[in-house]
Amino acid sequence: MDPIFVYDTTLRDGTQGENISFSAEEKLKIALRLDDIGIHYIEGGWPGSNPKDLHFFELAKTVRFKNARLAAFGCTRRPGVPAEADEKLQALIDCGAGVVTIFGKSWDLHVTQVMENRLEENLAMIRDTVACLRQNGREVVYDAEHFFDGFQHNRDYALQTIAAAAEGGADFVVLCDTNGGSLPCDVEVMFAEVRARFPRVRLGIHTHNDCGLAVANSIAAVRAGAVMVHGTINGYGERCGNADLTTVIPVLGLKMNRACILTENLKKLKSLSRFVNETANVVPVHNRPFVGRSAFAHKGGVHVSAIMKVPQAYEHMDPQQVGNERRVLVSDLSGRSNVAYKARELGVELDDAGIDSRRIVAEIKQLEQDGYQFDVADGSFQILLEKLTGTFTPLFELESFRVTIEKDKGQPCQAHATVKVAVGGKQEITAAEGYGPVSALDNALRKALGRFFPDLDTMRLVDFKVRVIDGSRGTAARVRVLIDSRDQDRIWSTIGVSEDIIEASWHALADSFQFKLAREKRIRGAAQESLPFQMPRPTTTCKE
């Protein structure tokens, strides 16, 4: 079977998604990560359409990609204009990319009603543009836009557009489900027909997710003979997005045994997904297949009991193959198996310590009755478990805090917080401002602890959520505050519950800092233990 070429369009099609934007410098950083994992083609943008994409291609000239070929994106020549005289086509040639991806119209509806062009001229535009780029030494990928809709509406004309691209010398012809409305069964049948009609043309697939079928349609096309798959990291893209390469790649490599990227590089997939999330300033989707935080998370007691014996009982693969990890959640649905598994993760063997796990389960279920939710707050659960087993050592303790909010007519609110904490018997009092009460508390606590713990510079809050637990009490209802924090290595969640939203926020915030500091302490301790033993140097006494 032919290898599958992976073509990433995160930097172009992905940025057409709502709230997704990258600077030229950020695009270069993402491109380097894509290259590192082994992506074959990276579409950098449309250099003829905006200055930012043009700047990106200028920056890209200063780096050398190890695995990927950089592609510039554009459209066919204008109607009635020779390809050699089209300035946008010339911009694609001048940008320096070795690959140029051109899209053209396959659906006669677009040709006659949207472009208001002649069908024959559209075919000439495709053929001339591809031939011009090939004559200028470029590898050409032709995107047959709206191909599947065009095929169903006017089969013969859609096939003529493919023939025009092939006659021009296209290296790949990619069939596009631009509206995202096709079904896998139809894609496979239509793709197979094109494959039979053009046996010497290397075909690819480009799908959108408007029916939630972008990945399924991509796989269907591969089954029918596609040798190139387009997509984006995390499925970013216009409307409902594109085919998610973080799903497509492991399906191809691990489920279908189709060569795409090196197996060892699959372990970088989760970190790549998180990096693109972070660069786009988008909160990660926890239930994303393969790379999501919940992809291998288990909550039901029966499930946990089974995976402790045989992991494949409830896991379709080893999560480490894609750089992920197994997680066990603890909630009111938990049994002793969940608690025992989580305790073992934290290095606490309950049976060896003589601790009754049933008492811990009962305590957790009571707290969940009060409004806590530990399946979404792994950081707070670790602290709770350490408290219940007598192994918790707080790295700081609250003496007091005060928060004030000021609002003057016509002016934005101002928040101030004063925090007094004790660290190792020493007290520290600090004050700080913030954009709100929680921001002010966060800033004041950082300021207080920064004197003792410089590692806090790497930690920051990435999400803050408030939920009313029982709305029948109105503004007096208990609230649940969930905070997601992260450093350069991981994301963790903490929780606080109270009738007072500020107190609930403080509990979640304090747990987040305790979790971070305890983890850094363990890392430093492990590093010290791993240092090789050295004999002390002999001391000498100098005599006059």
Sole residue written with tokens 């109105």: 474
Rounding to the nearest 10 degrees, give the CA dihedral for residues 208, 210, 215, 220: -90
Output the pLDDT for position 351.
61
Q: How far is CA 217 from CA 4, 97, 209, 348, 529, in A?
A: 15, 29, 9, 46, 52
Q: Which domains does the chain have, with CATH numbers?
A: 5-261 (3.20.20.70), 297-388 (no CATH), 397-452 (3.30.160.740)
Output the pLDDT for position 278.
82
> 68-95: per-residue pLDDT in tens?
999 999 999 999 999 999 999 999 999 9
Output the pLDDT for position 378.
83
> 112-164: per-residue pLDDT in tens?
999 999 999 999 999 999 999 999 999 999 999 999 999 999 999 999 999 99
> Which of the residue ranges 38-52, 190-204, 413-427, 435-449 has the most confident prediction, judged by mean pLDDT?
190-204
Average pLDDT over residues 526-531: 62
Which of 17-31, 56-70, 122-136, 454-468 is predicted least confidently?
A: 454-468
Contact (Cβ atoms closer than 8 angstroms) between residue 72 and residue 100? yes
> 279-300: per-residue pLDDT in tens?
888 878 989 999 998 999 888 8
At a CB cut-off of 8 Å and minimum separation 6, what does 436 contact? 413, 415
Output the pLDDT for position 35.
97
CB atoms within 10 A of CB 538: 5
Rounded Cα–Cα distance for residues 514 and 155 (Å): 64
Output the pLDDT for position 129.
97
Rounded Cα–Cα distance for residues 277 and 33 (Å): 13
> 396-443: per-residue pLDDT in tens?
999 999 999 998 888 888 999 999 999 988 999 999 999 899 999 999
Which of 62-76, 207-221, 457-471, 491-505 is predicted least confidently?
A: 457-471
Rounded Cα–Cα distance for residues 50 and 58 (Å): 13
Q: What is the DSSP-derived secondary structure letter of residue 10?
A: T
